[in-house]
């Protein structure tokens, strides 16, 4: 339990949050050789509905595979923020999309915000990579894996034609948060 670190990616079904969680778990477990468990819960609908993906990362084997006290949470929609920010532990962190989460959840945690989806659309060029922008942002926010390990896991996951787009998305998200928390 010593180094157990819990991350939650939440939003709507179809936003690629499970993929973001998988890539982070791969960065931790495959690239860096830490222990990681990725799990998810979602409704039976393929799109829409509140969706969450959780990643537990530790230096020791992980027993309970779900989050108990969330260290860092991402919320891309108001519904997800309302539903899933509750589990953030005192002193934890919440990253929200400032265009979509207008009513900020209140609690004993630090909130960081920027327009994640709009950044993907306007700065990276494709809305579909918003999940990878968010992943880069979460890596910058938590430092739970190195910037390079996260990028390596992104490259390993995406088809070759989309590597540059996803690298740009990852690094844009990373830089955004670095400048916000500097």
Partner 1 sequence: MAKKVALLQGNEACALGALYAGCSFFGGYPITPSTEVAEVMSKELPKTGGKFIQMEDEIAAMASILGASLTGAKVLTATSGPGISLKQELIGYACIAEIPCVIVNVMRGGPSTGMPTGPSQSDVMQAKWGTHGDHPAIALVPASCQEIFSETVRAFNLAEIYRMPVQILLDEINGHMRERIEFPEPGELEVIDRQQPTVSPADYKPFDDSQGDIPPLASFGSEYRYHVTGLNKAADGFPTAKPELVDAEERRQLRKIEANRADIEKNEEYLTDDAEFIVVAYGTISRSARYAVDVLRKEGIKAGLFRPITLWPFPEARMAELANQVKAIVVPEMNLGQMILEVERVTRRVCPVEGIGRVDGEPITPAQIVAKVKEVL
Is residue 64 involved in binding partner 1 (CB under 8 A)?
A: yes
Tell me whether residue 63 or residue 164 sits nearer to partner 1 (CB atom). Answer: 63
What is the Cα–Cα distance from 25 to 104, expressed in whole angstroms?
28
- Residue 111 neighbours by CB under 8 Å, 6+ apart: 93, 94, 95, 96, 104, 105
Separation between Cα atoms, residue 98 and residue 134, nearest integer Å: 12
Q: Identify which range of 28-36, 115-123, 138-146, 167-175 contacts partner 1 by CB under 8 A.
A: 28-36
Interacting residue with partner 1 among 17, 37, 50, 81 (CB under 8 A): 37
The least CB distance from residue 62 to partner 1, in Å, is 8
Burial class (CB in 10 A: 0-12, 13-18, 19+), 28: buried
Q: Which is nearer to partner 1, 58 or 171 (CB)?
A: 58
63 binds partner 1, rule: CB under 8 A: yes
Q: Answer for the pair 92, 63: CB distance below 8 angstroms, yes or no.
A: no
* Interacting residue with partner 1 among 12, 17, 29, 94 (CB under 8 A): 29
Interface ranges with partner 1 (CB under 8 A): 1, 22, 25-26, 29-30, 35-44, 62-66, 68
């Amino acid at each position: 339990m010593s180094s157990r670190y819990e991350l939650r990616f939440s939003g709507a079904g179809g936003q690629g949050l499970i993929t973001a969680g998988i890539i982070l778990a791969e960065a931790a477990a495959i690239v860096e050789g830490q222990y990681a468990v990725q799990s998810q819960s979602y409704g039976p609908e393929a799109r829409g509905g509140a969706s969450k993906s959780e990643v537990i990362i530790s230096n020791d084997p992980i027993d309970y595979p779900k989050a108990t006290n969330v260290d860092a949470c991402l919320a891309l929609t108001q519904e997800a923020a309302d539903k899933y920010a509750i589990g953030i532990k005192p002193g934890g962190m919440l990253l929200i999309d400032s265009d979509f989460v207008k009513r900020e959840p209140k609690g004993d945690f630090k909130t960081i915000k920027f327009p994640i989806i709009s950044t993907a659309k306007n700065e990276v060029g494709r809305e579909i990579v918003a999940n990878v922008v968010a992943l880069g942002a979460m890596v910058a926010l938590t430092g739970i894996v190195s910037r390079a390990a996260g990028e390596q896991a992104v490259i390993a996951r995406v088809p070759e034609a989309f590597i540059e787009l996803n690298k740009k998305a990852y690094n844009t998200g990373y830089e955004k948060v670095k400048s916000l928390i500097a």
